[in-house]
Amino acid sequence: MMFTQTWLLPFVLLATATIAAFPLSRYLAWIMDGKYRPLPVMGWFEKRLDSGPQNWKQYIGSLLLFNTVLFVFGYLVLALQPFMPLNPDGKTMLFPSTIFNSVISFMTNTNLQHYSGDQHLSNFSQIFFCISNMYISAAIGLCALAAIIRALRSDKSLGNFFLDMWRVMIYMFVPFAFVFALIFLTQGSPMTFKTSHQVSTLEPAAMGTTDKGEAKQQNIVVGPVAALESIKMLGTNGGGFYGMNSAHPFENPTALSNFFNTLAMMIFPFGLVIMYGRMLGRMRHAYVIFIVMLALMAGTVVWSVYYDTLKPNPGLTAHAARTLEIPGEKTWDMKKSVTYAAIAGLPVDQHLGNLEGKEMRFGTSAGATFDALTTDVTCGAVNAEEDSLNPIAALSPMVGMWINSIFGGKGVGMINMLLYIIIGIFIAGMMVGRTPEYLGKKIEAREIKLAAIALLVHPFMILAPVALFAVTHWGVDAVSNPGAHGFSQILYQFSSASANNGSAFDGLGVTYGFYNATSPAPSAIAFDIATGLVMLFSRFLPIIAPIAMAAYLGAKKTSPVGLGTLRDDDATFGLFLVATILIIGALLFLPAAALGPIAEHLGPFPVGG
């Protein structure tokens, strides 16, 4: 029974998303290739938006210009919050650095939140800032992928950015978001423009009493939750209406809503990989990529569930006495041994695994499963507290962010995978002493440079700021857990920012709050600015460079397939791709992992106090 309760949910989720990917990819390709015929009304809008065929420079230019407009719009909406309607509680303006961070965060599809939606945003901001950015930023990545595909198949033009955006939002996101929102609505997600209910609790004064001696009421925040929830998940955005995101009972009321919540973030990333093969006419190639991604995803899910659901929280269990040899205080070659006394366990039944930071209604393994998937597909929503995961289980969501292409976010995951493919083929070509080719196009110095830049932005944007923050008071003042876990908190924050993920180890003090906050987190401004810049660079460089690379590749002559051609649609290629990803993507981060989650896992337990 325990076996079923643990493994059935993740298995059904992966299977359902895989099955859904096939019809979905057909639909996606049909839309992106413009084979549909719009209704006359919708055609009018398309004509207004279409500025004609674009080359890659024009496409990138439009993309960047539009993002600039989006930045201004987002900044205005948040900055003007106190003057906007739907704000009966009189929520004031967030601190400017937090606005800067949040605007970039939502514009880049990251949704790292240095604020709490339930405490800091009015319903107007939730609708016009969050929902609008959730539609738009998700579409941008998908358009970039479509442009790359068109470049790779040597189309005359890369299409039109504005028309692509419109197609993605109106024909893909709106219908799916509406249906999923209806599911969440039936399960209990609120959909109202009211902001809160004041209720007197069943046991009078159970919330305590006010200074006047009256019973305190419970203030239940509601709002247009269902509308936000569906596009939050479908667009792999992940920015919750409430501070605790998909763990909050209004965002995710039942086991059924949790199933669709989880599925929603998977279907588009799954479908896009097959769409890639469909649009290129290379289905077998896409299947190999899909299987590689699925295998890596299954690995992260099994890891997370095994170490978090099937193992107890080690903070509460017994630990044997142990003696460790550590370097001496003054000279590194002098060894010093430290003895830790045995610790008796606390009498807690942990057969359901680590329950700290988990909700009960989703199912036994739902939290661990969600935590792994949310970083694989670069969503960043959470239905359990990542900070309280068992230390070694938390490695799984981190690896998801570091690799950043286990299906990955909307379009950008597939783009990142394309970079691994190019680098992998290049290495393979070097090994056999043959000019590497992808889709029959020769990969030369310029393409490799662009691919390497795009790929190395990510580790640089994580490791450099982590190093800076870990040794300065910026990081030290922000961590809420002692020892190795404190380092993990900083590492997670920048990994999440650079992967455009948005989940977090929530204990990290990064919230400034309103501009007149009385006790802001001491490092909030430093984190606002640093993660803001990281999100910006890690979003746009890995979109711009691959489009350019694809354009250069596409302009080349296609060489005929010969006996010496490296096949890109067989098991050898799949294994080679996995090796490339693990060596380049994961090994870069091994030292950081050793200082964080691995060190914490090895103990001793507990620390601090």
Name which of residues 173 to 212 contact other proteins (CB under 8 A): 173-174, 177-178, 181-182, 185-194, 196-197, 199-203, 206-207
CB 107 within 8 A of CB 118: no
Residues 213-232 that bind other proteins (CB under 8 A): 218-222, 224, 226-227, 231
Q: Rounded to 5 degrees, what are φ and ψ at 587?
A: -65, -30
Of 20-28, 158-166, 279-287, 325-333, which segment contacts other proteins by CB under 8 A? 158-166
- Pick from 143, 366, 466, 578: which binds other proteins (CB under 8 A)? 366
Neighbours of 330 (CB within 10 A): 7
DSSP per-residue string spanning 366-413: HHHHHHHHHHHTT----SS-GGGS-TTTTHHHHHHHHH--SS-STTHH
**In angstroms, what is the minimal distance from the CB of 533 to other proteins?**
23
Shortest distance (Å) from residue 311 CB to other proteins: 10
Which residues neighbour 222 within 8 Å (Cβ) at sequence distance 6 or greater? 190, 192, 194, 195, 196, 197, 250
Task: Report d(CA 392, CA 315) in Å as an integer.
Answer: 13
Give backbone dihedrals phi and psi of 242, rounded to 5 degrees, phi first: -105, 160
State in angstroms the smallest separation of the CB of 599 from other proteins: 10
Pick out residues in 274-333 that bind other proteins (CB under 8 A).
Answer: 313-316, 318
The residue among 460, 461, 463 whose CA lies nearest residue 533 is: 461
According to the binding rule CB under 8 A, does residue 109 interact with other proteins? no
**For other proteins, the closer CB: 118 or 376:** 118
Residue found by looking up tokens 């006790």 in the block: 519
583 binds other proteins per the rule CB under 8 A: no
Number of residues counted as binding other proteins (CB under 8 A) = 131
State the DSSP H helix or E strand holding residue 176, giving kind and residue range, or none if neither. Answer: helix 174-187
Could you give the C-alpha distances from 360 to 302, 367, 557, in angstroms and in order? 20, 9, 58
421 binds other proteins (CB under 8 A): no
The stretch among 289-297, 322-330, 430-438, 502-510 that binds other proteins (CB under 8 A) is 502-510
CB of 173 to other proteins, least distance (A): 7
Q: Specify whether the CB–CB gap between 539 and 64 falls below 8 A.
A: no
**Shortest Cβ distance from residue 216 to other proteins (Å)?**
10
Residues 69-98 that bind other proteins (CB under 8 A): 69-70, 73
Window of 93-101, 165-173, 516-524, 580-588 that interacts with other proteins by CB under 8 A: 165-173
The one segment of 148-156, 350-358, 461-469, 579-587 that binds other proteins by CB under 8 A? 350-358
Query: Under the criterion CB under 8 A, does residue 65 sit at the interface with other proteins?
Result: yes
Those residues with Cβ within 8 angstroms of residue 564's Cβ, 6 or more apart along the chain or in another chain? 434
Candidate residues 157, 480, 537, 566; the one interacting with other proteins per rule CB under 8 A: 480
* Separation CA 182–CA 191 (nearest Å): 10
Q: Which of 238, 271, 391, 542 binds other proteins (CB under 8 A)?
A: 391
